[in-house]
Amino acid sequence: MSKTAAGNSLVTTVMGFNVEIYKTKVDDQTLNQAILDFVTILEANGDNYLDKLPLTVEPYAFKQTSEADQIKWKKGQKIKTDANAEEAFTEMKKKYEITEENPVQARKIMAVRYEISRNGYSNTKTVTIAQNISRASEQQIREQNAKFPGIAIVTEPTVNYTSGSLASHLVGYMSRIDAKELKGKEDIYDPDDLIGKTGVEYVFEEYLRGKDGKKQIDMTVDGTVTEEYITEEAISGGDVILTIDANLQRVAEEALKENIEKIANGGFKNQSNADAGAIVVMKVQTGEILAMASYPDYEPELFATGLTREKNDEYNNSGTAPLVNRAISSPFAPGSTYKMITAITGLETGAISLTEKINDTGVYPRGHNPVCWIYTSQKRGHGYLNVSDAIKHSCNYFFYETGYRAGIENLYRYSTYFGLGRKTGVELLSEAAGNASHAENVANGGQWYVSDTISSAIGQSYNNFTPIQMAKYISMLANGGKNIDVTIIKTIQNADGTEVPREEINQFVSEKLGVTDSTEQISIKPENLQAVLEGMRGVTSEAGGTAYSYFKNFNIELGGKTGSAQAGRNGEKITNAWFVGFAPFDNPEIAVVVLVENGGSGGYTAEAARNVIAQYFGMNETQINENLEAIPSTQLIR
């Protein structure tokens, strides 16, 4: 079971009815009629049966989209490779001795027979042919047991995603074990078992999965079940308690979706074709993740019950890739949100001082002669700025010069210290490392130019980071420069109520995901950090700050930074939008990072961050009550 820290279940198990079939001494005609009668009962009660048959009727067609897949399937069924769908259907009817004339009815029988032959069965090995059927179907099948030789109802735990798609990318999904996963684990799993494929379900499969019990079923020669009894009791799996706040997670997902739709519909000054994004909320002192949203999301329950063809196409073939957790798997150029790294690097290395002011004249005279953003519209620079004001106004010129003086080696050193371009070690599959700009990024021994350094200094060039890395970076700025261990796991409780030691969890995750921490320890001078944080306060709290309009009437003072970065996607140029921040300013508790792909302007994403911060500090009018009295219980996860 996966739960939030407050005890709310995100995914659990409930007892459901599955249908299994054993091999009996009945002829094909009797078996086929029993299958058709069985399917008729299920359909009358709105239940489904397993159907992997890649043939359809009315019209006859193959489900496989490629000719190569069709040929491979026909070879496996010993059908001529040039046979069309109707001819293949006729051959399958002969194979299973199906005499039913109606092709729709015949296909129902064929689908179940195909499932049986695909998995193989005997008088001791069963094949599951329907899962989680209704009470009505269960009762009718039991009452008419004599009509269904070899067919038995079994009560088994089934996966229940109690909060729907909430935190889907965190929780992950389960689906049937495949042959590769089963190999060598036949003593642990059966071919019909569901296992975790992504998210927490995958990483902590060993803790979540209990041990199956054993049931003895006695039946007559013709397959009629006469008695069932337990020979070995099942053992419950453990409970994985997440650091996630369910209320905050829900608000983060809603805020992200609404923000993306508002940008796409022209709700801000300019319209942009925004279609995807991520939000991460992290405790600045501990690295605990309170919310992690990725949009678009998906319905994990469908993978356990069976994806429709339409849903499979939506999830796997759409341009927005709903199955990708953008918070951890998609690195993006950070744009101006990186400028605090350049500021810290400049101050710590002595390239700039706290009192120095650099004169932004609009056009930077080195490298490719880039301009400050204000020059594009006003043909002037910001004038003389110190480091705090440069962050407040997001002055490109100031950071071009600071990066040039400090050099790429130092920028790289401080980037990686703050967790940029490195995996955080969060307990999830498919975390991307991203990349921090470095001279070694140039391929084939090519030359590193001044232009590369000054572009890196404003969050472009080779810099590409994930939202979760950005959340760690902002957390470390807010907590005084202290390194933190990012986590979504509060604790794991065994079935007997004991807790798994944290050292064991860390070792387990490190071995399973192959992530180790080799971060260099750097001590940042408090006065340098404070100057950077003051600049971030100016972004949200002072006129002229790039996010001031979104926070000027906000009840909590915070530090923030907007950013936009050009990128290429599917052959087109887009501008990704960022907001990063922490709150409250004087005693920081949380860091919030918002990314919207093709969001146009970083300021637009500040609205989503504001809604999340308001929820955390109890400022939203509508509250979603969480069960604070819930006590984690030991229930079967499989």
User: How does DSSP assign 236-284, residue by residue?
Assistant: ---EEEES--HHHHHHHHHHHHHHHHHHHTT-SSS-----EEEEEEEET
Task: State mean pLDDT over 290-300.
Answer: 94
pLDDT of 128 reads 86
Task: State mean pLDDT over 440-464.
Answer: 91
> Is the pLDDT confidence value at 626 over 60?
no
Question: Which H/E stretch holds residue 331?
Answer: none
pTM of the full predicted structure?
A: 0.77
What residue type is 328 in one-letter code?
A: I
> Which residues are 581's β-sheet partners?
560, 592
CA–CA gap between residue 207 and residue 3 (Å, rounded): 14
Task: With CA atoms as reference, report the closest residue to 605 among 632, 565, 636, 633.
Answer: 565
pLDDT of 623 reads 43
Percent over 70 (pLDDT), the chain:
89
User: What separation, in Å, do the N-terminal and C-terminal C-alpha atoms of the chain show?
Assistant: 9
Least confident of 1-5, 100-104, 538-542, 583-587: 1-5
Provide the total of helices (H) and of strands (E) in the chain, helices listed first: 24, 19
> Is the pLDDT confidence value at 632 over 80?
no
pLDDT of 3 reads 54
Task: State mean pLDDT over 33-53.
Answer: 92
Q: Where are the domains of the chain?
A: 27-118, 335-491
pLDDT tens column, 198-233:
999 999 998 888 655 555 555 555 555 555 555 555
- What does the CA dihedral 82, 85, 88, 94 come to, rounded to 10 degrees? -150
pLDDT of 176 reads 83
Task: State mean pLDDT over 277-285.
Answer: 98
Query: Given pLDDT bands bounded at 50, 70 and 90, which one contains residue 6?
Result: low
Task: State mean pLDDT over 188-197.
Answer: 83
Compute how many other C-beta atoms are within 10 angstroms of the C-beta atom of residue 552.
Answer: 12
Whole-angstrom Cα Rg for the chain: 29
- What does the CA dihedral 388, 393, 396, 398 come to, rounded to 10 degrees? -30
Task: State mean pLDDT over 578-599.
Answer: 97
Q: What is the mean pLDDT of the chain?
A: 87
Task: State mean pLDDT over 296-306.
Answer: 83
Query: Given pLDDT bands bounded at 50, 70 and 90, which one contains residue 91?
Result: very high
Is the omega angle on the peptide bond into residue 584 within 30 degrees of 0, that is, cis? yes
pLDDT of 357 reads 98
CA–CA gap between residue 18 and residue 348 (Å, rounded): 64
Residue predicted with more confidence, 390 or 162? 390
pLDDT of 431 reads 96
> Is the pLDDT confidence value at 503 over 60?
yes
CA 211 to chain centre: 27
pLDDT of 9 reads 63
Residue predicted with more confidence, 250 or 155? 250
Least confident of 17-26, 117-126, 409-418, 433-442: 117-126
Query: Given pLDDT bands bounded at 50, 70 and 90, which one contains residue 178?
Result: confident
> Is the pLDDT confidence value at 36 over 60?
yes
CATH of 335-491 given 3.40.50.700, 3.40.250.10, 3.90.1150.10, 3.40.710.10 = 3.40.710.10
